[in-house]
Amino acid sequence: MLFYLGVFAVFCLSALFAFAQLTSMWEGKFHKFEDTVYKLKILNPGNGTKYTGALFGIKANEGYDYSFKRESSEDRFFKRVGLTYKYKVGDSKFDDLVFIVSDNISLLKKLSDCPKLTSLILEIFACPDGNKLFVEKIRHGAGCLSVEFGTHGKFDQHDV
């Protein structure tokens, strides 16, 4: 009985932490390009020796919460055990690359019905030139539309 109580407590704390992460907006330094204000945060593991990525975001409509990301090993594991489902829009290039994190049925239907939208999302995933940075995730939540960049190696802030 104590084992099940412990598992339940870990599950509840994990869900609470995940909810807090989803509903909070990340902190970053504000910049301005022409008339657009954006936030930029360079990510590092804490020791300051190597950058591990960057977050770039603009203010967006409140009330939305979804992510488009590259499928990770955790996603494949949870899909295999039946805890998640990979929604497919019908475009094989999009379906092979993008894992959609959302339970919004109207968003999923819009993605299936609008090939231009899925094409634009694929363009964002392909946008960094060179091989230092790549788009890891696109997220809309907490009033911010953000793109998370990962890195294949060391990069400078001016690369972003």
Number of domains in the chain: 1
Is 112 or 31 the better-scoring residue by pLDDT? 112
- Tell me if 78 is assigned to some domain: yes
Query: Would 15 be classed as within a structural domain?
Result: no
Could you tell me the residue range of the domain that residue 110 belongs to?
28-159
pLDDT over 60 at 98, yes or no: yes
Residue 10 maps to a domain: no
Summarised one tens digit per residue, pLDDT across range 1-14 is 667 766 666 665 56
Measured in degrees and rounded to the nearest 5, phi and psi for residue 26 equal -70, 155
Residue 35 lies in a domain: yes
Reported as type and span, the H/E element at residue 134 is strand 133-141
Parallel/antiparallel/unpaired status of strands 53-59 and 66-70: unpaired
Average pLDDT on 65-88 reads 89
State how far the Cα of 125 lies from the Cα of 21, in Å rounded to an integer. 23
Q: Residue 118's pLDDT is what?
A: 94
Domain assignment present for residue 79? The answer is: yes
